[in-house]
Amino acid sequence: MTKMTPSEALVETLESYGVENLFGIVGSAFMDALDIFPAAGIRFIPTVHEQGSAHMADGYARVSGKHGVCIAQNGPGITNFVTAIAAAYWAHTPVVAITPETGSNSIGLGGFQETEQMSFFSKITKYQVNVPLSERMAELTGRAFDMAMIEKGPSQLNIPRNLFYGEVDVDIPQPIKLDRGPGGLEAMKEAVKLISTAKFPVILSGGGVVMGGAIEEAKQLAEYLGAPVVNSYLHNDSFPCDHPLWCGPLGYQGSKAAMRLISKADVVIALGSRLGPFGTLPQFGLDYWPKEAKIIQIDSNAKVIGLVKKVGVGICADAKAWATKALEALKESNVDCVSTKQERLGKIQEEKKNWESELDAWTSEQDDWSKNQPSDEGFTIHPRQALRAMENNMPDDVMVSTDIGNICSVSNSYLRFKKPNSFFAAMSFGNCGYAFPTIIGAKVAAPERPAVCYVGDGAWGMSFGEILTCVREKIPVTAVVFHNRQWGAEKKNQVDYYGRRFLGSELISPSFAKVAQAMGAEGITVDKIEDVGPAFAKSIEDQKAGKTTILEIQCTRELGEPFRRDALKNPVRYLDKYKNYLNK
């Protein structure tokens, strides 16, 4: 054991776990440790807002496969982490939130910036620990890092600020590495038996395929079976889009080809997926989930197996290990569906061709509201046309993050990826202000890859301050801002259910391009569809020169499909004053 300060013990442990980048805002609570970050080879990246710090840690972890780490001042700095840590929780991202706290010698006295920091994170972390003694700083820091990776989710390391000081004897921990297996033998036999008799097997490739590095194994399994592969919702990078068996994503604004093909399935192999409810709901008028299909669900978290959908076989396993063993076992069996590969491939090609033709023709929304919108001067670009133009100019190795909102959600129809670790969304938490800071963190993890985020003008108002982070820290990204002067997703609900009474959903904003220029970035306003592709391509090229570009697209006010038709009902009013209001 070596004698050192607790701050040194913390930083030495960070170095032991391979931490090279750490996101946050400077604060006195952890300044003694901050002071020695550079000596340990740790880059501290100061952000504009603590929520942005945690989102950046999320993006960094999802690209690098390593921990994403954020730190801030105790009290208000730490409470600002909450939204982003919740997003990381639903994305299964190993983020470590280091949360300095009011000194242990004054907790409970109601001092400056004091609050109960552990309770805020109790439902949105996989692991929490409070350091009770300086002597345990290294031990518990290591435990927080190990649990974030083992449990595939955020952990909280809470440190009373007085415990950074003193002198301790320390043994610096080393990372624990666990091998995850293919699941039980009996479960494997049951799965193979089901697949062997399938007439139309479909593979649903989930986030676990990306996190487990199982893309190649999923490809080999699909190729042997001749099974169409659909991406689970918001995991468009879980199977390469240039593979002939790829069919696109399920869920909101996904691929009709994927939906129509999975509707034919008699066996669904849900590989590395919790089968989240939002990714199996009807869409485009298609109630596509196959009601009679047997489901084989493979997930490393036993708690989610059978939680949303009834399963025929549930397997707690690593996606990569299971796919490898399953392929070996299937090759030893008599698998009927192998002989009908070509027939399924023909159906796959037909459905994909039909969907692409429909997308090509789908240049604007055709509902009553959208068709009757006036063409405002300067705001004439149809969102779907813009999304198609950018899709056609996407580099093969691009990384894209999307915010929550109407146009960003429509982009799910157009975002296709050839590489894993390329697509990032706020997942089930669905918070605004996610995309921009997340893509900044992704760019830090992979500076050689083009980085793009899609943001609506409402969400942009929550996150554009991080332009300053990009400029100051020389982190070049492209932010595409869809300027349509509305909170589109909520406005769609007011169109469909609330008599087009637009309370709170209309926006008036300045030129985002000019704001970006004032903050030191490139700012481009595009108001003609023919300029979208070239401007987008230029912004990608400018990243190589270290430039961050805000591409402001002046969109029409047309609106895509609502998020969930089952989430609202037509309003009923009993009091006369409300009835009269409705009838105006």
SS (H, E, C) 36-60: CCHHHCCEEEECCCHHHHHHHHHHH
How many whole angstroms separate alpha carbon 579 and alpha carbon 493? 19
- Residue closest to 355 by CA, chosen among 253, 489, 206, 219: 253
**pLDDT for residue 338:** 85
CB 205 within 8 A of CB 220: no
pLDDT in tens, 420-429: 999 999 998 9
CB 13 within 8 A of CB 138: yes
How many whole angstroms separate alpha carbon 449 and alpha carbon 397? 6
How many whole angstroms separate alpha carbon 52 and alpha carbon 67? 16
Q: Which amino acid is at 286?
A: L
Would the CA dihedral through 16, 21, 23, 28 be positive or negative? positive
Would the CA dihedral through 180, 181, 187, 192 be positive or negative? positive
Read off the tokens for 150: 């083992």
Read off the tokens for 277: 């409810």
What are 314's strand-pairing partners? 297
**pLDDT for residue 545:** 96
**pLDDT for residue 582:** 81
**pLDDT for residue 1:** 82
pTM exceeds cut of 0.85 = yes
- Locate tokens 């199982």: which residue? 214
**pLDDT for residue 374:** 78
How many whole angstroms separate alpha carbon 315 and alpha carbon 298? 5
Give the containing element (helix H, strand E) for 205.
Answer: strand 201-205
- Residue closest to 29 by CA, chosen among 95, 73, 70, 65: 73
Q: C-alpha dihedral over 413, 503, 369, 288, to 10 degrees?
A: 40
Q: Coil, helix or strand for 448?
A: coil
pLDDT of the chain, 584 residues: tens digit per residue? 899 999 999 999 999 999 999 999 999 999 999 999 999 999 999 999 999 999 999 999 999 999 999 999 999 999 999 999 999 999 999 999 999 999 888 788 787 878 899 999 999 999 999 999 999 999 999 999 999 999 999 999 999 999 999 999 999 999 999 888 999 999 999 999 999 999 999 999 999 999 999 999 999 999 999 999 999 999 999 999 999 999 999 999 999 999 999 999 999 999 999 998 888 888 998 999 999 999 999 999 999 999 999 999 999 999 999 999 999 999 998 888 888 999 999 999 999 999 999 999 999 998 888 888 877 888 999 999 999 999 999 999 999 999 998 999 999 999 999 999 999 999 989 899 999 999 999 999 999 999 999 999 999 999 999 999 999 999 999 999 999 999 999 999 999 999 899 999 999 999 999 999 999 999 999 999 999 999 999 999 999 999 999 999 999 999 988 777 777 888 888 999 998 888 77
Report the share of the chain in percent with pLDDT over 90. 86
